[in-house]
Amino acid sequence: MVNNRSVRPPPDSPDSPGSIGWVTPLRLRLATPEAPFQLENGTSIPEVEVEYETYGALAPGRDNAILVTHALSGDAHAAGWDRSAGEKTLSGRFKAKQEGYSPPRGYRQRKPGWWDTMIGPGKPIDTNRFFVICSNILGSCYGTTGPASLNPATGSPYALSFPKVTVEDWVRLQARLLDRLDIGRLYAVIGGSLGGQQALEWALRYPERVAKAIILAASSKLSAQGVAFNAVARYSIINDPNFNHGDYYSRSRPDHGLAAARMLAHITYLSDEGMNSKFGRRLQSRDKPDPGFDVEFEVESYLNHQGKSFVERFDANSYLYIIRAMDYYDAAERWGGGDLVAACGRLESEVLVASFSSDWLYTPEGCQQLVHAVCRSGRSVTYADIPSQYGHDAFLVETERVGKLLSGALKRLNPQRRG
């Protein structure tokens, strides 16, 4: 007989003591036709709605807030289990797919948030101590206004008429959200990859509002090689026969192009060592290669799966907008006239930068350039290069090492503004 009192739910269950449990996405309208959101490029968006989630409780002094910023294909669902992704939604989607219907992009499955291992009671970002906010970026397809949203002037999706957005725009919109939540100063802002660049921009744009900036697997700009990979991704999407100049929402979508873009991106997220360890040159089911062109290697099958699953949940136009913002972000140009040391002179927060040894998207060398610039500017910085075979994805995969790093950084943090 099983004693039910001794049975603990699995660690990734919503009933686990370390889980946030069920969460409900929240939305706020942060721009209206009377008060539009002004973009860095001089244009504006008349209506902006932002989706976000919060975890934990805001302290009476409102001084325990942590903003978590997500990466390229992430969303506001960083922890816990999304209550809106219920069984009814899943079964309805499956039936619709059987009938040949193309489900809307931005679909969320019933599973833990993308950083559930880090956020929760007793976890590195401890919700018994901190109030955590994560919002979806402008231009995405997960609840915040983007290319798939309806243009109020036409009643049709914006598609490519949606204005170009930047990392700076994302951060300014996040600041507007925090203003609405009556949070003046952040205990910390934490992000990895493209989220790490948002964390850096926060510390540079709003130095007085950030006590600590934690930047994982990110540097002050994307390398030329990274821009080149994004160029191929754009080419794949734009030249898909179904792209139709971005106007595909009422017809077949550019799934092949988006899948190819995602497959290419996944190669940059891994490392040679990791791919050899996980896949090697193993064939799926044959001892000898077939002279045909079907999927034969395990690594081919993995990439195919990543591409196919991605097109079921993401919008191709959003992908174009986000990777272009990724290309253009350059903290030195924005804040130092090309001089990163001068830009870092704006910092008032403590800064933690972590790179991963096998990351070749945001390399350790690129991260070290940022660290050296912070040092030369006379500001406080801690740097860790974490040994890992998992490449760029290590900031999500190396849960134990990253968890210890975050726990230590947040415990050491003095939330008072530097004098």
Q: Which residues are catalytic?
A: 193, 359, 392
Residue that is written with structure tokens 């080149």 in the block: 228
Half-sphere exposure in the Cβ direction for 363 (13 Å, CA)? 8
**DSSP SS3 for 8:** coil
Identity at 251, one-letter amino acid code: R
Is the separation of the CB atoms in 351 and 215 below 8 Å?
yes
Residues 138, 165: contact at Cβ < 8 Å?
Answer: yes
Is residue 123 within 8 Å of residue 113, measured between CB atoms? no
**Whether 63 contacts 83, CB under 8 Å:** no
Q: Give the strand order in the sheet containing 212-216.
A: 26-31, 48-55, 131-135, 65-69, 188-192, 212-216, 350-356, 381-386
Q: At what angle do helices 255-269 and 316-328 cross, to 10 degrees?
A: 40
Rounded distance, CA 209 to CA 52, Å?
Answer: 20
Strands 48-55 and 26-31 turn out to be antiparallel
